[in-house]
Amino acid sequence: MNKHTFTFAILFSFLIFSCAKNTNTNQLNNDTYTKVNSLMSLMTIKEKIGQTIMYSGDWDVTGPVVSSNNMKLLRDGNLGAMFNVYSAKKTKELQKIAVEETRLGIPLLFGYDVIHGFKTIFPINLGHAASWDIEDIKKSARIAAEEASSEGLHWTFAPMLDIGRDPRWGRVSECAGEDVFLTNEIAKAYVNGFQGDDLSKHNTILSCAKHFVGYGAAQAGRDYNTVNMGEDELRNVYLPPFKAAVDAGAESFMTAFNELNGVPATGNSYIFRDILRDEWGFNGFVVSDYTAINELVTHGFAEDEMNAAEIAIKAGIDLDMMSGAYKSYLEKLVNEEKINVDLINDACRRILTAKYKLGLFDDPYRYSVNARERETIYKTEYLEAARKSAAMSCVLLKNDDALPLSKKETIALIGPLVKDKENIIGNWAAAGDRNGKAISIYQGIKSYLNDTNILYTKGCDINTNNKSGFKKAISLAKKADKIVLVMGENYHMSGEAASRTNIKIPGVQTQLIKALRKEVPNKQIILILMNGRPLDLSEEDSLTDAILETWFPGTSGGYGVADVLFGKYNPSAKLPITFPRSVGQIPIYYNVKNTGRPITLDNPKEDYKSNYIDSPNTPLYPFGHGLSYTNFDYSDITLSSNKIGTSDTLSVLVNIKNTGNYDGHEIVQLYIHDKVGSITRPVKELKGFKKIFLKKGENKRVVFKITNEDLKFFNGYEFLTEAGEFEIAISNSSDFHFKKKFELKVNY
């Protein structure tokens, strides 16, 4: 045993001894606090600052390359965390250096972007949100945590909880869409799924709610761009999912790259100290986004990097991802009395506390076990779960009797994404394999059809002008019963730094659809889409007979999509984000304000009304839209009362009957409209949803409960309800007219 291992052993026998006395959560917290403090009493200021520094292990590149000399920092005991490095072997190797070669042997924290799966990749987050299946999303996070933790990871930079209302922004693919209520539910599911019920278990990982806050509102949908919004929008729309994450126990937060009302998020003590810590009581740790601390200089908010470090630590940012500013300047800032050393102590304490909670001080290698890694990665049950999630995330946007496919039909299978195994897992696919592991749509369809029934050709590329494949595509289409096209974006076209001004299907793909429509006019065309954002599908909508939005469906995507195409899974997903008619309608979302001059009909010709002169206001496909192979009939919507008091519960009942020819799931949505407010309220707000299953011919009574809590909003000063009239509806999408009302009475 060398001298360092010896120090570690002494320190930890003391810590383990105190751990044995834990009997309840409070005591555990107190014990953790005591243990952290006793460890910190041994630490130099340099070692404490070391805990506030994180560098990339360079196995993956998720930002500008920065030279960091991270191995020297690690050996000197001046590096608290690493990211972009994984596998049981590699993490163990690095952890050994931290534990056995440094003075105090403090274990490293390994983070990574485990966004929609780790190895087994689930549909991109926007796609999975379309399932509205909270349990399934939670399960996907649990599986991701199982796999990631078996490769030595302790912490994921997820969930991403930005509200996304601008399809030009590439990062809408990572979020849960445009709606607050749906995003809140999904926030809790991800946090609970990643963190499980006991962080000290070796298969649970810390979650990280990001990006705090307002990132989704970047002007013009251009990534990293400026954000300006009033307190109303901030509190009612952008903050709630983060509050939901805190309430669910999220252990960490990440800053956003944008400025918010003139103050960059990474230097914004209003959001991090006043709201997150003081108002919401968050006591986990905050990490900056990648190089975001030194970007305070570029923003024009800090004079230089030293000033940037000062602003960030004062704003409550505990861990510096990649900027180097904390490493270079925190000690100097203390020496020059620009910051109080307590700021460093607080940051270090929070990070060490997370390491304790993970059990790293009991056994720093517990996450890096080769045998568990081998048993865990790509388990059959995980691949099966991913197949189910892919099916549950496919939104049937349009269907004029073209789907489902029958096993007897011959199909012309055309498009650049038919055989794709690279793009299908989407952007931010963590350690997911792009070289063959994923199931292509071709393979999925082949599992239902004989080879002779599939006439395949690529037809064109995703994003070039090459039309040389059109001829063959047309000739195959002529020989088939139906034309099935698999088209869309490549995975680089969404995600970080992937904003688009044109949200049409790229390249000559739409031209190929036009050519097929023209040359083979009597055959049904089914368009299967892969993409990471709402696209402008106005042309495709008029050229095709069915459109199935599969997003990027993940490792088992081909099977999941084929299950939908052949009716094994009757599509049930609903759009979590509006699909516009054209880029000119953006931002477009369902829960808008009425304005003083709303249009009565969707009529572009009305004078002096809030409309366009060249387009309807309505989108192509609204939020909440998604078809099924069967029909669900909604009737007898009844309210338990037409007046409620603030302590009452309103029951809202609806009768739903499956009147079609297939069994299926339906996502039943409840919306309200608070008609008059001390600040104006949106014309519609989702306040509940339920996924139900009905066999053909079956009938169900579905009940929603609404309480005062559900009706609250932030009025500029506080969250409250105001007495008055509310409209209420239960519907299969956000496209409906209210017919029922109730009144909220205060002191009733």
Q: 39 or 124: whose CB is closer to ligand NOJ?
A: 124
In whole angstroms, the minimum distance from the beta carbon of 108 to ligand NOJ comes to 16
What 3-state DSSP class applies to 329? helix
Q: Are 12 and 35 contacting, i.e. CB atoms less than 8 angstroms apart?
A: no
Question: Any alpha helices (H) in 212-304, and if so which ranges?
Answer: 231-233, 240-247, 269, 295-299
Q: How far apart are CA 542 and CA 522, in angstroms?
A: 14
Tell me if 269 contacts ligand NOJ by CB under 6 A. no
The residue nearest ligand NOJ at its CB is: 62
Distance CA 376, CA 362 (A): 23
Please give the residues from 309 up to 328 whose contact with ligand NOJ meets the rule CB under 6 A.
none
Query: Which C-beta is closer to ligand NOJ: that of 60 or that of 541?
Result: 60
Handedness of CA 146, 148, 150, 155 (dihedral sign): negative
User: In sequence order, which ranges of 508-556 are alpha helices (DSSP H)?
Assistant: 509-519, 538-543
Nearer to ligand NOJ, 153 or 334 (CB): 153
| Shortest distance in whole angstroms from residue 716 CB to ligand NOJ | 31
> Cβ contacts of residue 613 below 8 Å, gap of 6+?
604, 605
Q: Are 361 and 9 in contact (CB under 8 A)?
A: no
Q: Which residues contact 336 (CB under 8 A, 6 or more apart)?
A: none
Q: How far is the CB of 159 from ligand NOJ (least distance, A)?
A: 11
- Positive or negative: CA dihedral 66, 110, 364, 313: positive
| Least distance from ligand NOJ to the Cβ atom of residue 126, Å | 15
Cα(443)–Cα(456) distance, rounded to whole angstroms? 12
- Total number of residues that touch ligand NOJ (CB under 6 A): 8
Rounded least distance, CB 112 to ligand NOJ, Å: 8
Least Å distance, CB 613 to ligand NOJ, is 39
In the region spanning residues 130 to 169, those forming contacts with ligand NOJ, defined by CB under 6 A, are 157
Is the preceding omega at residue 587 within 30 degrees of 0, hence cis?
yes
Residue 148, CA distances (Å) to 101, 109, 113, 322, 360 in order: 26, 13, 10, 22, 16
Q: Write the burial class of residue 168 (CB in 10 Å: 0-12 exposed, 13-18 middle, 19+ buried).
A: buried
| Residue 289 annotated among the catalytic residues of the structure | yes
Does 295 participate in binding ligand NOJ (rule CB under 6 A)?
no
Strand stretches in 127-197, DSSP E: 155-156
Q: Which of 62, 200, 269, 582 binds ligand NOJ (CB under 6 A)?
A: 62
Among 290, 329, 361, 456, binds ligand NOJ (CB under 6 A): 290
Please provide residue 314's backbone torsions phi and psi, each rounded to the nearest 5 degrees: -70, -30
Minimum distance from CB of 218 to ligand NOJ (Å)? 12
> Does residue number 222 form part of the binding site for ligand NOJ (CB under 6 A)?
no
Give CA–CA dist 375/718, Å, rounded: 51
Active-site residue, from 136, 162, 289, 536: 289
Q: How far apart are CB 115 and ligand NOJ at their closest, in Å?
A: 8
Is 122 or 428 the residue whose CB approaches ligand NOJ more closely? 428
- In whole angstroms, the minimum distance from the beta carbon of 125 to ligand NOJ comes to 12
Which pair of structure tokens corresponds to residue 369?
Answer: 């076990």
Residue with Cβ nearer ligand NOJ (63 or 598):
63
Tell me how far apart the terminal alpha carbons of the chain are, to the nearest angstrom: 74
- The helix-helix angle for 557-565 and 380-393 (nearest 10°) equals 50
113 is an interface residue for ligand NOJ by CB under 6 A? yes
Which residues are 724's β-sheet partners? 744
Question: Under a CB-based contact definition with an 8 Å cutoff, are residues 62 and 114 in contact?
Answer: no
Contact 592, 682 (CB under 8 A): yes
What is the identity of the amino acid at 572? S
Angstrom distance (rounded) from CA 676 to CA 688: 21
Residue 524 pairs with which residues in a beta bridge? Answer: 482
Smallest separation (angstroms) from ligand NOJ to the CB of 642? 47
Task: State the Cα–Cα distance between residues 5 and 556, nearest whole angstrom.
Answer: 45
| C-alpha gyration radius of the chain | 27
Beta carbon nearer to ligand NOJ, 53 or 395 = 53
Among 35, 48, 168, 210, binds ligand NOJ (CB under 6 A): 210
Name the minimum Å distance from CB 56 to ligand NOJ.
8
Its sign, for the CA torsion 426, 432, 435, 441, is negative
Beta strands in 489-608 (DSSP E): 524-530, 546-549
- Residue 368, both tokens: 């890096």
How far CA 161 is from CA of 438, 562, 714, in Å, comes to 27, 30, 19
Which of the residues 174 through 193 are near ligand NOJ (CB under 6 A)? none
How far is the CA of 485 from the CAs of 447, 459, 517, 533, 570, in angstroms? 17, 9, 12, 19, 20
Pick one of 4, 29, 63, 273: the residue that binds ligand NOJ (CB under 6 A).
Answer: 63
Q: CB nearer to ligand NOJ: give 62 or 463.
A: 62
Contact between 493 and 170 under an 8 Å Cβ cutoff? The reply is: yes
Residue 496 sits in the site that holds ligand NOJ (CB under 6 A): yes
Shortest Cβ distance from residue 60 to ligand NOJ (Å)?
Answer: 8
**Residue 289 sits in the site that holds ligand NOJ (CB under 6 A):** yes
Q: What is the DSSP letter of 644?
A: E
Residue numbers of the site for ligand NOJ (CB under 6 A)?
62-63, 113, 157, 210, 289-290, 496
User: Catalytic residues, which ones?
Assistant: 289
